[in-house]
């Protein structure tokens, strides 16, 4: 199993999870919380081979690649300047970003004393780096560790996603239990899994400041895609009404006047992790391979005092990785 870890995603998720409990009041405490959040989550994922606690590990690690964002997402902002700008105006983000970036920089240095790969490129998103490795190593079993739902579009027989917050693995056997829209009674509205990108494109993504088609929520999007491919609805308001089973002036108008098609086209480009990104041709140049220094790493680990980390399992996993060619 090749483990692909979204570093910045886990840094933010880990920080906010611990911040509520630890309530850091100064810069040093915030730095401590950031490192505990990032390091604990990443190292825990390695120790458990991307498997939830209490679940048997059935596939040992064959490699680990930790991918980090660096800079700003300029490639996507050329298409949509507002991409991810919402978070940059959030006072909480402004306060915490320097702390998170310091933790990321520190952990990158620590990772280089481990038998793992660290991928990072200027003004490059970790999403594209991970997607590039998934594409490059298509025949290998791979597990992505992230809370980002965009990665669900990469799921197939060889690629799964582990969410360390929800502590679930999503693969091609339980995809709709975890990823599709649900009715109020909890029943999933199933649509072809290969249309998950369109599902995301039509509802948008508030976390990336990407609006969707007005009036289309998760359940409406799933209903549309369960009835027909999304492209079949452009210019056909009657088809939209039939699929939804109800009248919706805002949604029907958007599909009739062409505005829905424009929104979907933009979001498809911005969200698509199957189309090659420029970094795919330079993955080797963007990869730093760590050299295992167990003594130095154990000293750092002792100093950090991670709570709940299974250190024996982690060290065993790292020893096994270090012995691989």
CATH number at residue 311: 3.40.50.1010
Q: Are residues 232 and 98 in the same domain?
A: no
Q: Are residues 228 and 160 in the same domain?
A: no
Total number of domains in the chain: 2
> Measured between alpha carbons, how far is 233 from 224 in angstroms, rounded to an integer?
8
Eight-state DSSP code of residue 100: H
pLDDT for residue 297: 97
Q: Are residues 79 and 148 in the same domain?
A: yes
pLDDT, tens only, 200-234: 999 999 999 999 999 999 989 999 999 999 999 99
What is the domain extent for residue 26?
Answer: 2-178+285-315
Taken as a whole, the chain contains a residue count of 325
**Phi then psi dihedrals of residue 187, to 5 deg:** -90, 130
- pLDDT at residue 186 above 90? no
Q: Are residues 168 and 294 in the same domain?
A: yes
Q: Give the CATH number, domain containing residue 244.
A: 1.10.150
* Inside any domain, residue 208: yes
Kindly tell me the sign of the dihedral angle through the C-alpha atoms of 11, 306, 133, 169: negative
Could you tell me whether strands 159-163 and 168-170 are parallel, antiparallel, or unpaired per DSSP bridges?
antiparallel
Hey, what's the torsion of the CAs at 117, 11, 266, 231, to 10 degrees?
A: 80
* Inside any domain, residue 186: no
pLDDT for residue 21: 82
Question: Of 45-59, 60-74, 119-133, 175-189, which range is least confident?
Answer: 175-189
Residues 132, 303 contacting (CB under 8 angstroms): no
* Inside any domain, residue 265: yes
Q: Are residues 130 and 259 in the same domain?
A: no
Q: Are residues 78 and 107 in the same domain?
A: yes
Q: Are residues 267 and 152 in the same domain?
A: no
Give mean pLDDT, residues 135-148: 96
* Inside any domain, residue 235: yes
Share of the chain above pLDDT 90, in %: 83
Q: Whole-model pTM?
A: 0.94
Q: Are residues 142 and 238 in the same domain?
A: no
C-beta atoms surrounding 249 within 10 Å = 10
Q: Are residues 59 and 122 in the same domain?
A: yes
Closest CA to 80 of 252, 310, 235, 271: 271
């Amino acid at each position: 199993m090749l483990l692909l870890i979204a570093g910045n995603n886990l840094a933010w998720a880990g920080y906010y999870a611990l911040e509520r409990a630890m309530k850091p009041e100064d810069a040093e405490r915030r730095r401590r919380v950031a490192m505990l959040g990032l390091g604990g989550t990443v190292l825990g994922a390695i120790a458990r081979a991307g498997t939830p606690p209490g679940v048997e590990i059935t596939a040992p690690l064959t490699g680990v690649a930790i991918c980090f964002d660096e800079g700003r997402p300029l490639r996507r902002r050329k298409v949509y300047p507002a991409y991810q700008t919402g978070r940059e105006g959030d006072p909480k983000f402004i306060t915490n970003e320097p702390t998170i970036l310091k933790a990321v920089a520190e952990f990158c240095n620590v990772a280089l004393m481990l038998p793992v790969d660290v991928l990072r490129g200027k003004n490059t998103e970790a999403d594209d780096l991970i997607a590039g490795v998934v594409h490059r190593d298509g025949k290998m079993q791979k597990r992505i560790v992230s809370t980002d739902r965009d990665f669900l579009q990469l799921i197939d027989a060889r690629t799964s996603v582990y969410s360390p917050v929800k502590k679930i693995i999503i693969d091609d056997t339980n995809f709709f239990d975890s990823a599709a829209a649900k009715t109020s009674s909890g029943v999933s509205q199933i649509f072809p899994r290969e249309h998950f990108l369109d599902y995301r494109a039509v509802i948008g993504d508030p976390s990336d400041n990407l609006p969707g088609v007005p009036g289309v929520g998760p359940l409406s999007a799933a209903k549309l895609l369960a009835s027909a491919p999304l492209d079949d609805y452009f210019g056909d308001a009657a088809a939209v009404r039939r699929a939804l089973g109800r009248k919706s002036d805002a949604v029907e108008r958007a599909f009739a006047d062409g505005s829905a098609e424009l929104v979907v086209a933009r979001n498809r480009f911005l969200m698509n992790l199957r189309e090659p990104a420029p970094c795919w041709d330079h993955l080797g140049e963007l990869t730093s391979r760590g050299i295992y220094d167990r003594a130095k790493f154990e000293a750092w680990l002792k100093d950090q005092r991670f709570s709940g980390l299974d250190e024996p399992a982690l060290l065993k996993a790292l020893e096994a990785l270090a012995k691989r060619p």
